[in-house]
Chain A
Amino acid sequence: MSEITAEQVAHLANLARIALTDEEIGHLTTELGQIMHAVEKVSEVATPDVPPTSHPIPMQNVFRDDVVGTTVLTADEALAGAPESDDSRFKVSAILGEEQ
C-alpha cells in the first residue's frame, strides 16, 4: 500500500507525544514496514458491501440517570497521584501550543 519513511515515523511520534531517539525511529521504520505489510491483507476481503463492526456484542442506548454518584473523589484523593500540584490544582510546565 505504501512505504513508511523515517519522516513519517517522526511525525507519528510527534502526534503520539513520544520523544523517540533517531535510533528508535530507524528500527521502527523497518518494523512498521514489515508489520504493515503483514496486516495490509485485511483489504483483500474488506469489500464495500461488508459493514464494519465496532462492538462485538451489539447493544444501544446505555444511559445513566442524572444523579450524582458514589465515586466522587475529594481534592486530596484526586491529587494524591499527581507528580506535582499546587493550590489544589495539578501543576505543569509552561505550555507551548494553544488550546485546540
Chain B
Amino acid sequence: MSDELIRLSAAALGEKLAAGEVSSVEATRAHLDRIAAVDGAVHAFLHVEGERAIETAAEIDRRRAAGAPLGPLAGVPIAIKDVLVTKGMPSTSGSRILEGWIPPYDATPVTKVREAGMIPLGKTNMDEFAMGSSTEHSAYGPTHNPWDLDRIPGGSGGGSAASVAAFEAPLALGSDTGGSIRQPAHVTGTVGVKPTYGAVSRYGSIALASSLDQIGPVTRTVLDAALLHDVIAGHDPLDSTSIPEAWPSMADAVRRADVSGLRIGVIKELDGEGFQAGVRQRFHESLELLEKNGAEIVEVSAPHFEYSIAAYYLILPAEASSNLAKFDSVRFGLRVTPEGGGTVEQVMSATREAGFGPEVKRRIILGTYALSAGYYDAYYGSAQKVRTLVQRDFDAAFANVDVLASPTAPTTAFKFGEKLADPVSMYLNDIATIPANLAGVPGISLPSGLAPEDGLPVGIQFLAPAREDARLYNVGAALEQLLEARWGGPLLAQAPDLSAHELTATEEGAL
C-alpha cells in the first residue's frame, strides 16, 4: 500500500484523496517513511517536517470530512526548495550563512501551496544560493542522483528533482535562474517548468539574480506540473515584477493536448557540437514522434544565443553580489567574530568569509568587478544589450513557430567532482536553458528517454513566447503520452530500485 501510494502521480493521489480511498495522513506518512528509508542515500532534504506534516495532513482530512471545498491537490504532500522562505521552518538557501535561521514569514508560492491544502514535507537541498548545476556547491553536502548515486542530480534544484525522482515527494517547488528547474529534470528523468518571468511571485524567494529568477513546478508528470502551476501562478502585489493579468488553466491545456498543426522550431545552434550523441538521438526521436502526430518541424536560427552564457555570467554575478550583501551578521544568520574581537566591518568580513562557499565568493567578486566604476559599460551594460539581442532572436523565431525545441542540457548526469575544478566548463552546462531566463520566456523539460551509451535520462526542452506557458503544457503532455506509450509506462519505472540503499540511510547527513 505504502509503495503504491508514493508511486502515484499527484493528480492520481489527489483523486484518491477526494474519493476518500486514502487519507492525507496516510499519504503523508507514506512519503515520510520513504524519506526515512532512502534519503540517507539520496540526501534530497535539508529539513523534514515529520510530525508537523502529519498534523497538517490531519487538518486537511478533517476539513474534507466536514465537506469543505478543496482543490485537486489538497492533501497531497509537497517538497519545497530551500530557496523559498517558510515561516517556522529553517530556510538556508543551501548556505552556512543562514544555518538555523527561521523566517518570520512565508514566501508567496508557499502561502499558495498551503492555501491549496498541500502538505509541506520539508526543504530540499540546492547549490548554495542556487549557484551551480550539480548541488555540489551546497554547504550541506551534495544530493545524489537516484538513477546513479555517484552522479549529480543537476542543480541548483537537485534536491527537489531527486526528491520527486526518488518518490520521496509527488511534486516539489523549484527555482530557475538559468536552468535550475529544467536541467535537474533533464538528468533525473522528471518534469520541470520555468514559467514566464513574473508568472509566479518571487516574494519570499531568496534572491539570486532578481531579473532572472522564477519559481516553478518540479514533478513526475506534465499534468502534475500544470496542476501545481495553476496553484502558484497569479498576481502578487508584494512583487512589483509580478504579472497582473489572469492566467488560463494549464491543467486544461494538458487535458486538451493536441499537436496537430503545431509549428515546432528546432534551434539549430542548440543541436550540434557539444551535445552528447544519446542526448541528440532521443531529442530527434521525440521530434519525429511529434511530426508523425501532426506537428510541423521547422529549423530556426538564434544567432545571439551563443552570447547568452557570457551575458548571463555577467548579469547574474552582478545582481547576486548586491542581493547577497544583506548577509552581514547584523539582523539574521551567522556571525563570526575574529579572534580578539573586531570592528563591525571586520565582523562582517569574517562572517562572509566563513559563511559563503567558494562558488558564492567567486560570483560575488566577479559581480563586484562587473559593476565597478570604469567597467560597468563594458561588462554589465554590454550584457544587458545582449539580453535585447536574445529577445530579438526569440521574437523573430516566434514569428514563424509556436514553440521552440532543444535538448535541455548537453550531457547526461556527470559524476561528482568531474567539473568542480573547472568553473567555465560547469557554466557551459546551462547553454540551452539560459536564453529563456534572459528573455523571460517560459520553458519545460520532460523526459525523452535514456541515452543508449550510459543508460541515463535525457530531457527535451520546449520554449514558448512570454505569457504563452499553456503551449508548453500542450506540447509536453502530447509528447509524454506518445513516449509513455512507446516505453510502456513512465520513464521513472525504469529507474533502479533504491531500497538496496536503505541500509546506508543513516550514513550521510540525514536530517
B interface residue count range (under 10 / 10 to 19 / 20 to 34 / 35 or more): 35 or more
Interface pair A38/B372, CB less than 8 Å apart? no
Interface pair A92/B385, CB less than 8 Å apart? no
Contact with A along B332-361 (1 / 0, CB 8 A): 111101100111111111101100101001
Interface pair A93/B337, CB less than 8 Å apart? yes
Partner of A57 from B198, B331, B332, B348 at Cβ < 8 Å: B198
The winner among B333, B334, B365 for most chain A CB atoms within 10 A is B365
Interface pair A19/B346, CB less than 8 Å apart? yes
- If the complex has contacts A42-B382, A42-B383, A56-B440, are A81 and B332 also in contact, measured as CB distance less than 8 A? yes
Q: How distant is the Cα of A13 from the Cα of B342 in the complex, in angstroms?
A: 18
User: Does chain B have a CB within 8 A of A100?
Assistant: no
Interface pair B307/A44, CB less than 8 Å apart? yes
User: Does chain B have a CB within 8 A of A7?
Assistant: no
Q: Which residues of chain A are within 8 angstroms of B358 by Cβ–Cβ distance?
A: 24
User: Does chain A have a CB within 8 A of B423?
Assistant: yes
Interface pair A39/B344, CB less than 8 Å apart? no
A interface residue count range (under 10 / 10 to 19 / 20 to 34 / 35 or more): 35 or more
User: Does chain A have a CB within 8 A of B414?
Assistant: no
User: Does chain B have a CB within 8 A of A96?
Assistant: yes
Q: Give the total number of A-B pairs whose CB atoms are below 8 A apart.
A: 190
Q: How distant is the Cα of A43 from the Cα of B364 in the complex, in angstroms?
A: 21
Interface pair B361/A93, CB less than 8 Å apart? no
Interface pair A18/B342, CB less than 8 Å apart? no
Interface pair B341/A93, CB less than 8 Å apart? yes
Closest to A93 in B: B344
Partner of A35 from B368, B383, B423 at Cβ < 8 Å: B423
Interface pair A17/B424, CB less than 8 Å apart? no
Interface pair B197/A42, CB less than 8 Å apart? no
Selecting from B2-10, B100-108, B268-276, B398-406, the interface stretch reads B100-108
Task: Return 29 A-B CB contacts under 8 Å, by A number.
Answer: A12-B365, A17-B325, A17-B348, A19-B338, A24-B358, A28-B362, A35-B362, A35-B423, A39-B379, A41-B310, A42-B310, A42-B314, A42-B382, A44-B307, A45-B304, A45-B389, A46-B381, A47-B385, A50-B389, A55-B211, A57-B241, A57-B243, A57-B466, A80-B102, A81-B104, A82-B332, A92-B330, A93-B343, A95-B343
